[in-house]
Amino acid sequence: MASSVLVANLTQEWVDCLRRWHMEYFFIPTIVVTMATLLANPVLLSCIFLSRALRRETRYLLVANTLMADMLFLILNLAVMICNAVSAQVPWVVCGLFTAVTVTAYCCTVLTITLMVVDTYAAVRWPLRYHDLLPPARTHRILVGVWVLAAVYPFTLVIMMEVGRGNSEEGLAVCLVLVSLGLIQVQNIIAIHVYFFVAALFCALLIFYCYIRLYMVTKTHGIWQSRFSRARVTLLAHGVLLLLYFTPGFVFILELFLFQRKDISHDVRVWVSTVNMCVLMLLPRALAPYLYGLRYREISDTLMQLLHRHRGLSQNSAS
């Protein structure tokens, strides 16, 4: 494990680089996007959980899980950025906990959107058996398993980090997932790369396979004939969203690689990490609630019903 002096020097260099390049301006879009998403996601979650029909559908439970994981990720990401912006000394144990939960939330989102594609494939491939294969109770157990699976490895790494550090109580000038995992990586370089890269590659290949199979199963149904058919537009929108969700993960793998290279400028590492954290990781989470609200008619219809009901209650109370 890296010494306390090395950690202190590294985090201080990171702060100096942030100030030298005036990267605090990246916090502005971060706050705006985070606030917009945190306003939209609870509305969609209310539509899903207040409707008995929607909360019994597997696809809407998966959407709800994605939105909740995104909210957790955004809250932690914003909290960490605020701490870094005001140069707060974050204790190692707190930073490690933030790291573990942030990685868990990100991995949970990736796993859930992968399951969303698998769910769509199952619904098209076995329409008569679909509800028997994925009843609500089984979906709940699957989602619990997704959270557990996403949490096991990052929390294991944090525990290893705390055990290796001993009882030292020093704080960090910046708390970043990259710094935490990058320092652990000295002794677990292969394991971390295997976890992130292989897991992301497996999910991407599974999604690609399901889309290919979906096209082969439905190509004779005529839904792909029109250039602007609903199937093509849905596939394009979902494909763009999936690309935006997966890209930050692969960029983070690049960040871990650059972190270990001594011949790479420190400024380059800081720029790549900042852009990934403040832009790339926020884009899909900013688009997701609006895309889901437009893509799923049942959600938009439920939202309109709730708005009309609220408007009617307001008018009755006013009269």
Domain range annotation of the chain: 4-306
What SS3 class is residue 282? coil
pLDDT in the model for residue 75: 94
Nearest CA to 113 among 135, 146, 149, 89? 146
H helix or E strand, kind and range, residue 171: strand 171-172
Contacts of 112 (CB under 8 A, 6+ apart): 62, 65, 66, 69, 143, 146
pLDDT in the model for residue 291: 81
For 4-306, CATH number?
Answer: 1.20.1070.10
pLDDT in the model for residue 1: 45
What does the alpha-carbon distance between residue 147 and residue 132 come to, in Å, rounded to a whole number?
23
- 9 Cα distance to chain centroid: 30
pLDDT in the model for residue 276: 93
pLDDT in the model for residue 307: 75
Residue matched to tokens 């619990």: 144
What does the alpha-carbon distance between residue 221 and residue 213 come to, in Å, rounded to a whole number?
14
149-166: b (≥16 Cβ within 10 Å) or e? ebbebbbebbeebeeebe
H helix or E strand, kind and range, residue 316: helix 297-318
pLDDT in the model for residue 2: 46
**Nearest 10 degrees: Cα torsion 91, 85, 100, 239:** 180
Q: Are 101 and 177 in contact (CB under 8 A)?
A: no
pLDDT digit of tens for each residue in the chain (319 aa)?
445 666 667 777 888 888 888 888 888 888 988 998 999 999 999 989 988 889 889 999 999 999 999 999 999 999 988 888 787 888 888 888 998 999 999 999 999 999 999 998 898 888 888 888 889 899 999 999 999 999 998 898 888 777 766 655 667 778 888 776 766 554 566 677 777 778 888 998 999 999 898 888 777 766 666 665 666 777 777 788 888 999 998 898 888 888 877 788 889 989 999 999 999 999 999 988 888 776 787 888 888 887 777 666 665 665 5
Residues in the chain: 319
Report how many helices (DSSP H) and strands (DSSP E) the chain contains, helices first.
Answer: 12, 2
What SS3 class is residue 223? coil
